[in-house]
């Protein structure tokens, strides 16, 4: 069971890294290498416009990647969800797990391809374009993982004691206490120099109300759809920039 858990975690990490790998492939071997070696001139000399050349270069990777990623994430979700929770203590809101299920993996792959095309056209050096694309794609994924909790309004529980929620299905975003005046103090603010802590950190049960901001499992799809919209919007803007740069440099 322990080995199976690690296998799930490694598979999630691989799917999460797939957009950067695909983007690097498009940036290097597909785009930058042709520009670096000059082989693109053969296609353009045969009545193939630069825009059509780029569209043809992106069509096959886009089709194969989106289809393959969607299938891969579906199989991964099935293999993860069919295991008992006690044997596979990985949760839907963990960064790599979340980015490996639903529609986010396919949208991330689309953005990776778009970034690869833009970077390949700008850098025009195979190895450098691959490295830059992987770096930028990874940076976007890291940024989204940091703001993901705020893409959809959280649910809140309040009460005199610690809220009772299922850890396996609940993404705890923030927790703390609420004072008589309505001021909130997060638990994370109650660590450090005792003399500098807010007064509410030392309050006892009965003097304050405890709160918990969280995402229940039902928020999975709203969060997925919002993040997918962001990824596809970024991919659309990146693709437009790629075609404009191609047209400007090779009009």
Q: How many contiguous H segments (helices) and E segments (strands) does the chain have?
A: 8, 4
Please give the pLDDT value at position 216. 92
Please give the pLDDT value at position 209. 83
Please give the pLDDT value at position 168. 64
DSSP 31: I
**Residue ranges per domain, the chain?**
2-150+218-249, 155-217
Please give the pLDDT value at position 171. 92
| Distance (Å, whole) CA 225 – CA 129 | 30
Please give the pLDDT value at position 84. 58
Q: Are 108 and 139 in contact (CB under 8 A)?
A: no
Count the Cβ atoms, other than its own, within 10 Å of residue 10: 11
| Distance (Å, whole) CA 199 – CA 249 | 62
| Ramachandran quadrant class, 207 (left: phi over 0; alpha: psi -120 to 50; beta: rest) | alpha
CA atoms within 13 A on the CB side of 150: 6
Q: Are 214 and 172 in contact (CB under 8 A)?
A: yes
Q: Are 4 and 83 in contact (CB under 8 A)?
A: yes
| Distance (Å, whole) CA 234 – CA 98 | 19
pTM as predicted: 0.89
Please give the pLDDT value at position 167. 64
Q: Kindly give the confidence (pLDDT) of every residue in the chain, 251 residues in length, as a single tens digit, with 9 standing for 90 and above.
A: 777 778 888 999 999 999 999 999 999 898 988 888 877 777 777 777 888 888 988 999 999 999 999 999 999 988 887 765 555 567 889 999 999 999 999 999 999 999 999 999 999 899 999 999 999 999 999 999 999 999 999 999 888 777 776 666 789 999 888 877 778 888 888 887 776 777 777 777 667 788 899 999 899 999 999 999 999 999 999 999 999 998 887 65
Q: In what order do the strands lie in the sheet with 170-178?
A: 155-159, 209-216, 170-178, 184-186
């Amino acid at each position: 069971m322990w080995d199976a858990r690690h296998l799930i975690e490694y598979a999630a990490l691989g799917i999460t890294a797939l957009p950067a790998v695909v983007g690097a492939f498009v940036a290097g071997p597909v785009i930058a290498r042709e520009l670096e070696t000059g082989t693109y001139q053969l296609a353009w000399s045969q009545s193939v416009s630069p825009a059509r050349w780029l569209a043809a270069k992106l069509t096959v990777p886009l089709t194969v990647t989106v289809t393959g990623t969607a299938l891969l994430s579906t199989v991964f979700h099935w293999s993860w969800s069919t295991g008992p929770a006690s044997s596979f203590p990985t949760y839907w809101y963990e960064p790599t797990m979340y980015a490996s299920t639903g529609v986010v993996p396919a949208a991330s792959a689309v953005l990776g391809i778009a970034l690869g095309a833009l970077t390949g056209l700008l850098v025009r050096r195979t190895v450098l374009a691959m490295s830059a694309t992987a770096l930028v794609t990874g940076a976007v994924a890291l940024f989204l993982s940091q703001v993901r909790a705020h893409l959809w309004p959280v649910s809140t529980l309040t009460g005199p004691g610690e809220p009772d929620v299922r850890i396996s299905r609940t993404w705890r975003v923030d927790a703390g206490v609420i004072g008589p005046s309505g001021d909130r103090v997060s638990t994370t603010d109650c660590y450090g120099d005792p003399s500098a802590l807010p007064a509410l950190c030392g309050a006892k049960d009965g003097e304050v109300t405890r709160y918990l901001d969280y995402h229940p499992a039902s928020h999975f799809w709203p969060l997925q759809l919002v993040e997918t919209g962001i990824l596809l919007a970024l991919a659309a803007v990146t693709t437009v920039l790629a075609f404009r740069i191609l047209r400007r440099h090779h009009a």
